[in-house]
Amino acid sequence: MKPYEGYMLDLDGTVYRGKEPIPEAIAFIHQLKEAGLPYLFITNNSSATPEEVSLKLQAFNVPAEPAQIWTTALAAAAYVKAGPAPHTAYIIGETGLLQAMEEAGVEYTEENPAYVVMGIDRSITYEKLAKAALAVRNGAAFISTNSDKALPTERGFLPGNGALTSVVQTATGQDPVFIGKPEQVIIEQALYILGTPLEKTVLIGDNYDTDILAGIRTGMDTIHVQTGITSLEEIEQKPVLPSYSIQSMADWTLMKNSGEKSSKK
């Protein structure tokens, strides 16, 4: 265990499971806050606004301000804004993505957009997909918030944004730039926001194929928590291991920069 200076945390499977909080993770986040260590929640979900995510977390007694939430909606908006002008986009997505784009100064248009941005849209229609495909064929840069194929819900696994994106991908023969985990884009932005050095920042998540891989690709340390998608048995089969794999955050002792233990279990 190292005295990390900045912490990135995944949400579902790490801080809560659907509607159930994970108490060990929540206790750990309180320790981070009390120690004054910066932390940021990173989610591939683009449908909710940071305000909505922070309210959900606060309902679980997690100390989380909207500024501590980094969604793929915010990340995609920042990516487009940092790209070549004009910052005009045809956008498929829900409130989180539409609001993030508007706040970043990306103008929504269906006429000759410079970008097509796709995020989860549970009101997807053939017409929306048609407009996206036509714009991509017309030369628009193709961006997708995340490649998650399926979404865990109470009903079972439903089509995720990766599945929706694949329709436009297949129809145009163009691959999108994906922004969310396991890509580095969102993690590099998060490092910039945290303001802590790569080697002193750690990423905590339950899913090897998104969270842990994103950290490994970015070159940072990772903590796999066995409270969600990937089991310890599955981790042991992977060619590149996370820095740590623990049952829950109760197994993690927070250390100060001096290396002194700041809490005892």
215 binds Mg ion (CB under 5 A): no
12 is in an annotated binding site: yes
Q: With contacts defined by CB under 5 A, name the span among 38-46, 91-99, 156-164, 206-214 that binds Mg ion.
A: 206-214
Is 221 known to be catalytic? no
Is 12 known to be catalytic? yes
Return the number of the residue (12 or 221) whose C-beta is nearest Mg ion.
Answer: 12
Catalytic residue among 10, 121, 148, 211: 10
Q: Do the bridges between strand 69-71 and strand 88-92 make them parallel or antiparallel, or are there none, so unpaired?
A: unpaired
CB atoms closer than 10 angstroms to residue 207:
22
Q: Cβ-count burial of 228 within 10 angstroms (0-12 exposed, 13-18 middle, 19+ buried)?
A: buried
206 is in an annotated binding site: yes
211 is in an annotated binding site: no
148 binds Mg ion (CB under 5 A): no
Return the number of the residue (25 or 97) whose C-beta is nearest Mg ion.
Answer: 25
Residue from the set 4, 6, 9, 13 that interacts with Mg ion by CB under 5 A: 13
**Spatial distance between the Cα atoms of 153 and 222, rounded to a whole number of angstroms:** 26
- Report in angstroms how near the CB of residue 14 gets to Mg ion at its nearest: 5
* Two tokens, residue 33: 């806050």
Return the number of the residue (12 or 148) whose C-beta is nearest Mg ion.
Answer: 12
- Report in angstroms how near the CB of residue 78 gets to Mg ion at its nearest: 22
Return the number of the residue (91 or 179) whose C-beta is nearest Mg ion.
Answer: 179
- Binding-site residue numbers are 10, 12, 181, 206
Looking at the annotation, which residues are catalytic? 10, 12
Name the residues that contact Mg ion, by CB under 5 A: 10, 12-13, 206-207
